[in-house]
């Protein structure tokens, strides 16, 4: 029996190794980051997360707007030898956790874990786990009984049974990950290990949304954000395009699949539907807003919720690596309507330039520009709609299916209104809260660089602000709030910490504004930050370059944009 199994594993292993030596090496590089604390053990399409707990592990499910504490499945799972001594975790690879060289834990498909004696191991072992109701289960593996399979239902229910397919499951799990890593972009030597980990993050964050069949959503984080957030999907697609353009297109398609009748794209597509207005806010979220004394917790009428209009920008990037014209035309129809929605339904003061009706629609939820009353006129939104109209004009010229001149004319008009927000004295683009100037000096004021059409004089001033050690020239740039702003905090979300997406947008803005050297420099500093901080976290302290305490880890767009910047810096990017 043992020989048969070893033979089966050997055959499957040899087959895989012939094609995937390289992928195996990249998987091993990624494995070095799988500490089971910041990066849990998981599988593409699976909702199961395995974290380190004492000598063993604990298991959770990953669910939309539910905390890990609410999603407990196994509070402890320990592997013991025959004498009862706990076997430590000796190695973690993307497809396996090894306990003391005796037992392997792997997946048996997306809905189950399996633990089995290692091939050839004569030893026996005891597997012991507790469920949140306190019940203890103890299984002995020896003789004919070499593995146990633990099925975990969507309702977090647990069932177990003896298994004789453990080695086949191990091989199948390894094959899934090797296939994934075979697509990992090859980059500059010093960036390869972090690129491998970031590529793991993107694969690890794949879930199925039950209402959408077999579609694969790469979520921002299986730990904290389980759904497809509109602008996260754009950034994630921009990273994925380098290794898996199909999956990149799938993200955009899901993001564009549920526009409202008037063209608005939803903030989030999730397993229960969409989050498109304040009426759809999950109770926990609304409660947090109430506790913070926020006026937006209970608006008198539903407020639309969306994310910034960077859809055409993302589409253009995804098409750069692989043209898909028919598909692109279909998506463009939706993007055009969403762009029109901003002007028709979200120009809340009727001056011709759209406003944010809710902080969530900006993606920079907690930025001090939203401390005052709504709606908020914001230079980032002005810049994004100009950029999107320019992209739409280019697409109209390419496909001959829309009025390019109309898009350019609107871009020009909006640019004029955007320039009205320039404060020459302070050298910044200001936001306005319900018509009143906001004093805050934040990263949104750098986004007009993206238009590529600012007067040189203004570009010079923004470049100077980026270098200024009192403003954005932090040890680890670019802080989301200027260092000398009274609202600056190095740790609070969107009130100081560095985010990889805003950095990537500033990189793109510098390039669009003819400052390619500075763009390159910021790209280098951004990948250096992620490596210094130990991974693609959600946001980073701009003073220390470490993960901010409240930031989540293994974060989708940080991983994707690290990959995108790394490919660019390695000379292989097409843009
Ligand atoms: C936070 C961010 C927002 C992002 C979402 C999902 O709410 O502020 O920009 O889209 O998380 O990652």
Separation of alpha carbons 245 and 465, rounded Å = 37
Pocket test for ligand 1, best of 64, 65, 219, 225 (most atoms within 8 A of CB): 225
Distance 358 CA to ligand 1 centre (A): 13
Cβ of residue 225 lying under 6 Å from some atom of ligand 1: yes
Q: Cβ contacts of residue 438 below 8 Å, gap of 6+?
A: 368, 369, 371, 372, 376, 430, 431, 432
Q: Kindly list the strands in the beta sheet with 158-162, ordered across the sheet, starting from the edge strand earlier in the chain.
A: 89-93, 96-99, 103-107, 112-117, 147-152, 158-162
Tokens standing for residue 357: 């009706």
Report pLDDT for 6: 39
Please tell me whether residue 241 adopts helix, strand or coil conformation.
coil
Cβ of residue 366 lying under 6 Å from some atom of ligand 1: no
Nearest CA to ligand 1 atom 12: 220
Q: Which helix (H) or strand (E) holds 6?
A: helix 2-31
Cβ of residue 309 lying under 6 Å from some atom of ligand 1: no
Cβ of residue 180 lying under 6 Å from some atom of ligand 1: no
HEC assignment per residue over 139-152: EEEECCECEEEEEE
| Counts of helices then strands in the chain (DSSP H, E) | 14, 21
Nearest CA to ligand 1 atom 4: 363
Report pLDDT for 12: 42
Tokens standing for residue 62: 């990953």
| 203 burial level (CB within 10 Å; 0-12, 13-18, 19+) | buried
Report pLDDT for 240: 98
- pTM of the model as a whole: 0.95
Distance (Å) of CA 123 to CA 106, 114, 475: 19, 18, 53
10 Å Cβ neighbour count for 297? 16
Distance 225 CA to ligand 1 centre (A): 8
Please tell me whether residue 565 adopts helix, strand or coil conformation.
helix
Distance (Å) of CA 384 to CA 308, 328, 387, 449: 7, 20, 5, 10
Q: Cβ contacts of residue 506 below 8 Å, gap of 6+?
A: 443, 446, 447, 449, 466, 478, 522
Phi, psi of 274 (to 5 degrees): -130, 160
On the question of a cis peptide bond just before residue 137, with omega within 30 degrees of 0, the verdict is: no
Phi, psi of 469 (to 5 degrees): -65, -15
Q: Which helix (H) or strand (E) holds 128?
A: strand 125-130
Separation of alpha carbons 249 and 234, rounded Å = 10
Tokens standing for residue 413: 């008009």
Distance 221 CA to ligand 1 centre (A): 10
Cβ of residue 220 lying under 6 Å from some atom of ligand 1: yes
Please tell me whether residue 435 adopts helix, strand or coil conformation.
coil
Distance (Å) of CA 442 to CA 109, 114, 293, 446: 46, 49, 23, 8
Phi, psi of 260 (to 5 degrees): -75, 165
Report pLDDT for 3: 37
Nearest one of 141, 144, 143, 161 to 152, comparing CA atoms: 161
Q: In b/e form, how buried is each residue of 406-423, taking b as 16+ CB within 10 angstroms?
A: ebbebbeebbebbbebbe
Phi, psi of 49 (to 5 degrees): -125, 130
Distance 363 CA to ligand 1 centre (A): 6
Pocket test for ligand 1, best of 223, 265, 310, 365 (most atoms within 8 A of CB): 365
Separation of alpha carbons 132 and 158, rounded Å = 11
Atom of ligand 1 nearest to the CA of 220: 12
Separation of alpha carbons 476 and 227, rounded Å = 30
Cβ of residue 232 lying under 6 Å from some atom of ligand 1: yes
Nearest one of 303, 291, 223 to 60, comparing CA atoms: 223
Separation of alpha carbons 212 and 307, rounded Å = 21
Please tell me whether residue 56 adopts helix, strand or coil conformation.
strand
Nearest one of 374, 352, 350 to 362, comparing CA atoms: 374
Distance 243 CA to ligand 1 centre (A): 24
Cβ of residue 357 lying under 6 Å from some atom of ligand 1: no
Q: Cβ contacts of residue 11 below 8 Å, gap of 6+?
A: none
Report pLDDT for 1: 35
Separation of alpha carbons 539 and 469, rounded Å = 20
Q: How many Cα atoms within 13 Å fall on the side-chain side of residue 319? A: 19
CA dihedral 394→399→402→405, nearest 10 degrees, is: 40
Atom of ligand 1 nearest to the CA of 493: 8
- List the chain pLDDT tens, one digit each, 575 residues: 333 333 433 444 444 443 446 999 999 999 999 999 999 999 999 999 999 999 999 999 999 999 999 999 999 999 999 899 999 999 999 999 999 989 999 999 999 999 999 866 678 999 999 999 999 999 999 988 999 999 999 899 999 999 999 999 999 999 999 999 999 999 999 999 999 999 999 999 999 988 888 899 999 999 989 999 999 999 999 999 999 999 999 999 999 999 999 999 999 999 889 999 999 998 888 888 888 788 788 888 899 999 999 999 999 999 999 999 999 999 999 999 999 999 999 999 999 999 999 999 999 999 999 999 999 999 999 999 999 999 999 999 999 989 999 999 999 999 999 999 999 999 999 999 999 999 999 999 999 999 999 999 999 999 999 999 999 999 999 999 999 999 999 999 999 999 999 999 999 999 999 999 999 999 999 999 999 999 999 999 999 999 999 999 999 999 999 999 999 999 844 33
Separation of alpha carbons 318 and 246, rounded Å = 10
């Amino acid at each position: 029996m043992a020989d048969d199994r070893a033979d089966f594993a050997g055959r499957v292993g040899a087959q895989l190794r012939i094609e995937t030596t390289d992928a195996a090496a990249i998987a091993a590089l990624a494995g070095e980051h799988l500490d089971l604390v910041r990066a849990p053990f998981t599988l593409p399409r699976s909702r199961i997360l395995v974290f380190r707990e004492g000598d063993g592990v604990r298991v959770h499910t990953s669910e939309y707007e539910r905390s890990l504490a609410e999603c407990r499945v196994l509070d402890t799972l320990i592997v013991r030898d025959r004498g009862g001594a706990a076997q430590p975790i000796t190695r973690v690879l993307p497809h396996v956790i090894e306990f003391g060289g005796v037992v392997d834990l792997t997946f048996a498909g997306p809905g189950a874990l399996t633990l089995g004696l290692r091939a050839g191991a004569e030893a026996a072992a005891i597997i012991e786990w507790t469920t949140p109701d306190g019940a203890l289960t103890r299984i002995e593996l020896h003789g004919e009984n070499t593995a146990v399979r633990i099925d975990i239902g969507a309702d977090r229910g647990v069932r177990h049974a003896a298994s004789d397919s453990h080695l086949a499951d191990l091989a199948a799990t390894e094959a899934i990950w090797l296939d994934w890593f075979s697509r990992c972009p090859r980059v500059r030597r010093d960036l390869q290990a972090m690129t491998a980990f970031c590529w793991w993050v993107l694969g690890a964050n794949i879930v199925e949304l039950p209402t959408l069949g077999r579609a694969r959503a790469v979520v921002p984080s299986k730990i904290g954000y389980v759904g497809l957030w509109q602008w996260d999907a754009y950034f994630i697609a921009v990273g994925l395009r380098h290794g898996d353009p199909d999956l990149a297109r799938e993200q955009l398609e899901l993001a564009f699949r549920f526009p409202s009748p008037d063209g608005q794209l939803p903030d989030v597509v999730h397993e229960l539907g969409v989050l498109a207005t304040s009426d759809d806010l999950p109770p926990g979220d609304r409660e947090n807003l109430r506790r913070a004394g926020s006026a937006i917790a209970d608006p008198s009428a539903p407020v639309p919720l969306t994310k910034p209009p960077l859809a055409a920008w993302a589409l253009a990037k995804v098409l750069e690596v692989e043209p898909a014209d028919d598909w692109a035309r279909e998506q463009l129809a939706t993007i055009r309507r969403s762009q029109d929605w901003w002007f028709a339904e979200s120009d809340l003061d009727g001056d011709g330039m759209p406003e944010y009706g809710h902080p969530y629609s900006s993606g920079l939820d907690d930025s001090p520009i939203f401390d005052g009353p709504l709606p908020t006129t914001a230079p980032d939104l002005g810049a994004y709609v100009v950029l999107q109209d320019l992209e739409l004009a280019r697409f109209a010229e390419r496909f001959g299916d829309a009025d390019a001149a109309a898009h350019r004319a609107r871009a020009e008009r909006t640019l004029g209104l955007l320039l009205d927000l320039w404060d020459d004295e302070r050298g910044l683009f200001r936001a306005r809260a319900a018509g009143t100037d906001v004093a805050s000096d934040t990263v949104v004021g750098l986004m007009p660089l993206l238009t590529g059409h600012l007067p040189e004089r203004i570009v010079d001033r923004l470049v100077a602000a980026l270098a200024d050690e009192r403003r954005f020239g932090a040890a680890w740039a670019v802080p989301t709030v200027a260092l000398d702003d009274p609202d600056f905090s190095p740790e609070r979300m969107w009130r100081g910490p560095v985010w990889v997406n805003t950095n990537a947008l500033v990189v793109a803005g510098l390039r669009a504004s003819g400052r390619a050297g500075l763009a390159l420099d910021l790209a280098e500093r951004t990948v250096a930050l992620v490596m210094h901080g130990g991974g693609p976290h959600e946001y980073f302290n701009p003073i220390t370059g470490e993960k901010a305490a409240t930031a989540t880890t293994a974060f989708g767009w940080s991983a994707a944009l690290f990959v995108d910047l790394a490919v660019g810096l390695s000379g292989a990017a097409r843009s």
